[in-house]
Amino acid sequence: MGKKLKVAWVTFACCEDSSILFLELMNDHFFEWKDKLDFKVCRILQKFHKLEDIDVAFIEGAIATKEDDHKVKQIRKASKKVVAIGACACTGMPSAQRNVFDDATKQEIVEVINRFGHLPKVQPLKEVIKVDYEVPGCPMDEKIFLQVLQACLKEFGIE
């Protein structure tokens, strides 16, 4: 068995549409990816979870809570490259829609914000950590994702 790319697939505030699309891309790429990718973290596929020595972390979703903020910084520390996946990770929206609510609506949701440790504003990844690549789209653009994955495989010398 050759060398594999050590990957993490993680989600924050989002609808996980790109995770679903990733599972749909597997319909065509399953046997190729099982030989090339070593999933260290991927809750949608497995219970096994080891957040250390990651080559590439694919992160879907925006940063909405204090816990998200803490976790995403840990992921950045453990990963050589970070790829922002989908609109919420790249731009914050639509998960960040509460940032632009009027005062009356903000008042309506303030108890949830306080009770569950939400941040004052929902943020795209690049405002919280360094992001190396972005795959935009709602859901992510499949072609760009495949190009970025290919580039990462090449960069880490995976044949």
Q: Which residues make beta-bridge pairs with 49? A: 41
> Got the DSSP string for 11-73?
E-BS--HHHHHHHHHHHHHHHHHHHHEEEEEETTT-S-B--SSEEEEEEESBEEEHHHHHHHH
As a whole number of angstroms, the longest Cα–Cα distance in the chain is 59
Residue 44 touching other proteins (CB under 8 A): yes
Which of 7, 9, 19, 123 binds other proteins (CB under 8 A)? It is: 19
Structure tokens at 9: 């697939």
Determine the Cα–Cα distance for residues 122 and 94; give it in Å rounded to an integer.
Answer: 10
Q: Which of 3, 50, 53, 101 binds other proteins (CB under 8 A)?
A: 101
CB of 73 to other proteins, least distance (A): 17
Contacts with other proteins, 105-124, as mask; x by CB under 8 A = x--xx-xx--xx-x------
| Site for other proteins contains 3 (CB under 8 A) | no
The answer to the question of residue 24 lying near other proteins (CB under 8 A) is yes
- Nearest distance from residue 91's CB to other proteins, in Å? 13
Q: Distance between CA 123 and CA 79 in Å, rounded? A: 20
Closer by beta carbon to other proteins, 23 or else 150: 23
Residue 94 interacts with other proteins (CB under 8 A): yes or no: yes
120 half-sphere exposure, CB direction, 13 A CA radius: 0
- CB of 45 vs other proteins, minimal distance in Å: 5
**Cα gap 68→12, rounded to integer Å:** 7
Which residues contact other proteins by CB under 8 A? 11-21, 23-24, 26-28, 30-31, 34, 39, 42-49, 64-65, 68, 94-95, 97-98, 101, 105, 108-109, 111-112, 115-116, 118, 138-139
